[in-house]
Amino acid sequence: MTHSYRTTRRAALVVGGALLGAHMTMAALSQAPLSPAKLVYGDRVAEYLDPYFSQNWQLFAPTPLSDDRGILARAACADGSVTQYYDVSARGVEKAQNSRFFPSREIRIVSAHLQNITSSEELLRRIRQQQTNDKKPLLPPLPYEKATEAESVKGLSRYAYDQLPAVCDGETVKLQIRMYVHELPPWSQRHDPSAEGKVLVHDFAWQKTRDLRLRTP
């Protein structure tokens, strides 16, 4: 009995150690610099880690915030009509600003997804910047970049869908989000009242609401 127990325990430890090792390897690969392995397995790693084990090491804000960003959303109704755009990220910002001591973290749902969309590997940024300077065709998005963007767009669409329960009288068929980035004027123009930043806008593809609803097993 004792020998059988020890064998079972050792087997459980080996299996548990192997699973833990595999998990740690995939988590480390997701944060590793760009490499051939990341190009090949990056999208599979992202599928495994998201949403419960996603990694984000931007705690200390290596790049100071220099813009104002958020999302708008509009809905396509069952009768064929399309609503106006609604600012669905403003509510989360307001909730965070109204409580200085215990701010709501709801806006982080939006900011985290936007960061995934707008950020890229340092090496890829340098390559594309050099191509821009040389007026050459830009390197197209890599498979893992496309997978990350698609997951973030779905997350933002799901958040927007949750913020607009009353539109279309509850009969929303599709939802489209628009990302805006307001680049603030540079610090050197801080005393110039006429200084204006640049606004960048990007519309993403329509998402069917039936794909946004959380399914229960």
Give pLDDT tens digits for 43-66: 788 778 776 776 665 555 555 667
DSSP 144-213: HHHHHHHHHHHHHHHHHHHH-TTGGGG-EEEEEEEEEEEEPPPGGGTT-TT---EEEEEEPPPEEGGGTS
Give pLDDT tens digits for 93-149: 888 888 878 878 888 888 888 888 887 776 777 888 888 888 888 888 888 788 888
Phi–psi pair at 22, nearest 5 degrees: -65, -40
**Quick check: pTM over 0.75?**
no
Closest CA to 72 of 159, 193, 146, 3: 159
- pLDDT confidence tier of residue 216, bands split at 50, 70 and 90: very low
Q: For 206, left (φ over 0), alpha (ψ -120 to 50), or beta?
A: beta
